Structure 1
């Protein structure tokens, strides 16, 4: 099996996320951070208004959701569409790139959700083998 580096060289990609100055690192952080991943996952279900999205991503603050949406919009993953109505209506949806990224992310999420029994059992084994320090 080819390593990530070998695959990257074979494809001759112009960016290398493992390189300190690569701009793809910022996008990777936006996508894989807690709120970015959950926001993309929620939007993979369809277009949502801000408050609908905030309810769907349980626990996110208004400020953090706004920051997350700005970052994802700037990266070209989310489209913000303001409707000229009274009161104003703003809808958020995934771009083509956002749908591709969200699809891959949802596969990871589904894998983790499907294997949580193993994860929880592993945590329990790990925790029971450790002695409290103090």
Structure 2
């Protein structure tokens, strides 16, 4: 599945992370899946790589769950469940966990290292229903 990317630069430009980071994420998710498999349950339709790609696509493009689910041929509820699982699994791992605000403020910045997090939210512009009615009535 990952063979379709010509090189690491193409992978980075399309996916948004380096191939090495992607493989580290896959490794972490496979370990978590192995622990989860011991408990039992129904097997997932998607592979670990597909679930991670789906999550990265959601993060990068901010598409709706329904659009992403259609691309992967699953229900939107399964899409939500898979994305949440990947997010929560990666957050719990120390490699991809950002320490809390108190810890960041306590440590002094050394070697000109700086951590900046953009957490601004921009409201989504939606078409007003009255405008849709006016457009369809004029046709």
Between Structure 1 and Structure 2, the one with more strand by share is 1
Same fold (TM over 0.5): no
Q: State the TM-score, normalized to the length of structure 2.
A: 0.29
Structure with the larger RCO, 1 or 2 (CA within 8 Å, 6+ apart):
1
**Which structure's residues are more often helix, by fraction?**
2
